[in-house]
Amino acid sequence: MSTLNSIRDTFFEECEDLMADLADGLAKMQSGTTDPETVNAVFRAVHSVKGGAGAFNLTELVAFSHQFETVLDELRADRLKLQPELMFTLLRSADHLSVLIEAARDGVDVDTAVTQNSASALRVWLKPDSDTPAAPTSAAESFSFAPVTVDFAAFEPVVDLPSAPAITYYHIFFQPTATLFSNGHEPALLFADLARLGTLSSVIDLGDLPAWEEFDTTVPFIKWTLKLASTAAVDQVRAVFEFVDGLCKLDISTSSDPIAELSHPIETPPPAPQPSSLREAAVAPPAPIAEKPSAAAKPTLASSQMADQHGPKPTLRVELDRVDRLINAVGELIINQAMIAQRVNELPVTTDTEVVTYVEDYRLLARDIQEAVMAIRAQPVKPLFQRMSRIVREAADATGKSAQLLAFGEEIEVDKTVIERLADPLTHMIRNAVDHGLESPEDRIKAGKEACGTIRLSAAHRSGRVIISIKDDGAGLNRPKILKIAKEKGLIPQDADLVEADIDSLLFQPGFSTAQKVSNLSGRGVGLDVVRTAVMALGGRVAISSVPGQGTEFTISLPLTLAVMDGMVVSVRGQTMIAPISSIVETIRPSTSEVHNVGPSSKYLSIRGEFIPIVDVASSLGIAPTTTPSEPPLLLLVESENQSQCALIVDEVHDQRQVVIKGLEHNYRSVQGVSAATVLGNGQIALILDLDAIAFQRIPPEMPTEPSLLSHGG
């Protein structure tokens, strides 16, 4: 039974990949790509789901996927033409197929009426007298076979075979000039392109090579005589040398007679990775030129497999628990390395002893292992973003609006745990954008906009964090309405006079909602406070920006991983703390003239023609100052996700090191201005500062501080 369950789990894991392929194909078709390969890829995804579902007797899933693939089969056979209405049906069918898969995986039932409606929407596109088979009523029926009699005598023998294309033998003389190399060209890459046209062999002429004492590395002395047997036209051969025209001596002649094979045939190398820039292309390493042991030698199975680099890379499915245990072990390894380094530093040894060298090697090795393990957990956000497309369509149907999702940065990789725990808050925000952000089609047309609203979902790496943005092109936040509702609900005093940023932050208050009535999407008072709580549990933050009439953007800032980070060890009022290096721009010890007092308590740093606010970390954390500083403080210049800067006062900077992140929520509780904790090499617990929360977020006066937690070094 356990084996069957394991196979069943594997099927649903494969369904995730199949649904991702289905979403990709439908997105291409929606954008206008209707080539046979795209349509076939979509058909194969649905057909594979049907086949696997039949093996586990998932009747409802088999029946619907059969109906789905029947329509796709009509489309790929050109008996149906892709039009907006059909595209709408295909997208909604893919959404319902995902619902059926999830229900089958979780063992829950799906409303039969909904499935019947979705199947009916597909049958509309099939002709009543179509020869397409009816949907199977059972899983076993989908795998039934009937014997077929084949009359081989009816087949005519093939007598006219197409003649093989004529082979032309090219004799090529090639001598580069110094300008060819200075422009970043490489002969080996040219020869590799030639080898892809046929069978290439070469002879190197070293006759002009001078004596060693007269050798000039800036002058090329080598000449090549190349012989190519190919079916390519002469224009294709010349095109290989198109970009070095005038930078070499080149002569190409042809012959129809076979040529003698030379002693150094050139193998076709696997395709090199494409350079990401022109400069990278200019300095790309030359392709390898290998020698064959014999012209008649046949490649072995192993060598042919190694040479075939065109297929997908092999993968290995591993249970997430095993990876988690490995990550925890690596975290303990890093802590152990820090403790050993601490002890070695306390010993009376010089820095050039072997022990110090071994400890440093240990540190580098631990870091390499940590980065490799983190790469295992890193996954692109593409599957999560694809799921949001379905959420947008469902929310649009529920609200009677027209909406589309545009996704950017789907290749950005994030820790798998972050992706899993981000799904619910992101779903809530997407629904919120459709329900509250976008106007009705009629209102959008009156405002001079497209009837269909657009939601942009993007991901990007910035300052060692991943930034996810949800932006709609709706009417923007109605701040007077938000302020009025907040006062009616007693969330703020009646005489409160708030700036725009403070009004926007009211959306995150528990129980706040602008919905006039309860619906499937909103109105129950469970609002963005749930989103903020979930994001903060991941060590992240949520920010809002809105322009009336143009839309609203929510920005989620998250750590790339939840396990290890690079930090700067600092002292704050005698307490050792960790400041994430990803947010630190530089450390500054300003002169007295560079620090300016503004008002009774505010200070600003004058640097490079700008005035940057100064924030005392100790005061933000509720630690009372012991003495008045007599000299300018030591400052950490930090930068937030929105590119604003702030200078944080610390007492001292000790070291830079890699630390293991330990969450506070499960062991203590969330602390304002603190994101997590870690264990130092001497066994001391140090708090990891949330620099953005300290520098750029207001701490309400009634917010309790944590003097007991801070006064004992963690």
Q: Where are the alpha helices (DSSP H) in 433-497?
A: 441-446, 479-488
State how far Cα 357 lies from the chain centre.
37
User: Helix or strand or coil: residue 86?
Assistant: helix
- Do residues 601 and 636 share a domain? yes
Residues 410, 553, single domain; the answer is: yes
Q: Identify whether residues 445 and 491 lie together within a single domain.
A: yes
Q: How far apart are CA 248 and CA 180, in angstroms?
A: 7
- Relative to beta strand 413-415, strand 168-176 is unpaired
For residue 245 the two structure tokens come to: 């025209």
pLDDT recorded at residue 151: 53
The domain of 261 spans 168-270
- Among residues 559, 687, 665, 669, the alpha carbon closest in space to that of 617 is found at 687
Question: Do residues 393 and 509 both lie within one domain?
Answer: yes
- Helices within 196-293 (DSSP H only): 234-240, 278-282
Tokens 């319902």 sit at which residue?
A: 96
How far is 308 from 315, CA to CA, in rounded Å?
16
How distant, in Å, are the alpha carbons of 113, 521, 527, 535, 569 from that of 512? 35, 14, 6, 18, 40
Helix (H) or strand (E) holding 606: strand 602-607
User: CATH number of the domain that 615 lies in?
Assistant: 2.40.50.180
CATH of the domain at 422: 3.30.565.10
Residues 70, 107 within the same domain? yes
- What pLDDT sits at residue 452? 92
Does 572 lie in the same domain as 551?
Answer: no
Of 559, 579, 598, the last residue of a domain is 559
Residue 356 counted as domain residue: yes
Neighbours of 542 (CB within 10 A): 23
| Of 378, 396, 424, the domain-final residue | 378
User: Which 8-state DSSP code applies to residue 126?
Assistant: S
Place of tokens 């903060």: 536
Q: Are residues 500 and 629 in the same domain?
A: no
Decide: helix, strand or coil at residue 404: strand
In a domain, 153, yes or no: no
Asked if residue 65 belongs to a domain, the reply is yes
655 domain residue, yes or no: yes
End position of a domain, from candidates 511, 536, 559: 559
pLDDT value at position 90?
92
Structure tokens belonging to residue 236: 């294709």
Alpha-carbon distances, residue 204 vs 17, 174, 226 (angstroms): 50, 10, 9
Greatest C-alpha distance within the chain: 105
DSSP state of 666: T
Indicate whether 183 and 93 sit together in one domain.
Answer: no
Helix, strand, or coil (residue 390): helix
393, 462 Cβ separation under 8 angstroms: no
- Assess whether 389 and 494 both reside in one domain: yes
Quote the pLDDT of residue 552: 92
- Together in a domain, 396 and 525: yes
What is d(CA 167, CA 426) in angstroms, rounded to the nearest whole number? 60
Instruction: Return the SS3 of 421.
Output: helix
Same domain, 331 and 391: no
At residue 145, the pLDDT reads 43
Confirm whether 151 is domain-assigned.
Answer: no
Tell me whether strands 674-679 and 685-689 are parallel, antiparallel or unpaired: antiparallel
Residue 154: inside a domain: no
Statement to judge: residues 385 and 374 lie in one domain? no
Inside any domain, residue 599? yes
Do residues 632 and 590 touch, judged by C-beta distance below 8 A? yes
Find the helix packing angle between 36-55 and 59-76, rounded to 10°. Answer: 160
- Residues whose CB falls within 8 Å of the CB of residue 239, separated by 6 or more in sequence, listed in order: none
Q: How far apart are CA 555 and CA 531, in angstroms?
A: 12
- CA 389, CA 668: separation in Å to the nearest integer? 38
Give how many domains the chain has, as a whole number. Answer: 5
- Specify the pLDDT at position 268: 41
Q: Which is it for the CA torsion 700, 701, 707, 713, positive or negative?
A: positive
Bridge partners (DSSP) listed for residue 638: 584, 646
The confidence score (pLDDT) of residue 235 equals 83
What is the DSSP track for 296-351? TPPPPHHHHHHH---SPPP-----HHHHHHHHHHHHHHHHHHHHHHHHHHHSS--T
Q: Which residues of the chain, if any, have pLDDT below 70?
A: 1-4, 128-165, 256-315, 349-352, 463-464, 511, 513-527, 560-562, 625-630, 640-643, 665-667, 696-714
Which residues pair with residue 566 across a beta bridge? 658
Domain containing residue 254: CATH number: 3.30.70
Residue 24, domain CATH: 1.20.120.160
Query: 538 in a domain, yes or no?
Result: yes
CA distance 301 to 377: 33
| Coil, helix or strand at residue 413 | strand
φ, ψ for residue 637, nearest 5 deg: -85, 115
Query: Of 122, 100, 118, 101, whose CA–CA distance to 110 is shortest?
Result: 100
